[in-house]
């Protein structure tokens, strides 16, 4: 029988247009996404991060802060969107229509 690991290795990632932070760390098994983020030190490196509002995920899938992390997870911190993607697409499509007419 395989025993569950006592320690899990995770990566915490945060990026802006100017910099990228990727931190590898080990946390106790059963740790949450929030605990992994706090343990990584990324909140001190990037004080603009507001976990009460910003979304987080693991491998591009949205997760809550109390989700448990697993071995080799990549925890990602997502900045708020500046523009609505659907509205941006509509503007691009309408410009294409104007040019073709």
- Name the residue ranges covered by the structural domains of the chain: 7-100
**Burial category of 8 from C-beta neighbours within 10 Å (exposed 0-12, middle 13-18, buried 19 and up):** buried
Q: Does domain 7-100 have CATH number 3.10.20.30?
A: yes
Count of Cβ atoms closer than 10 Å to residue 59 Cβ: 10
User: Which pTM value belongs to this model?
Assistant: 0.76
pLDDT tens-digit profile of 9-60? Answer: 999 999 998 999 999 999 999 999 999 999 999 999 999 999 999 999 999 9
pLDDT tens-digit profile of 46-98? Answer: 999 999 999 999 999 999 999 999 999 999 999 987 777 788 788 888 877 77
């Amino acid at each position: 029988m395989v025993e569950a690991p006592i320690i899990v290795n995770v990566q915490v990632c945060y990026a802006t247009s100017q910099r990228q932070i990727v931190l590898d760390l080990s946390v106790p098994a059963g740790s949450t996404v929030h605990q992994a983020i706090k343990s990584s030190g990324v909140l001190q490196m990037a004080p603009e991060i507001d976990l009460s509002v910003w979304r987080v995920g693991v491998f591009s899938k949205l997760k809550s802060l109390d989700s448990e992390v697993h071995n080799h997870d990549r925890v990602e911190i997502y900045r708020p969107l500046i523009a609505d993607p659907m509205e941006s697409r509509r503007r691009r499509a309408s410009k294409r229509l104007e040019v073709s007419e």
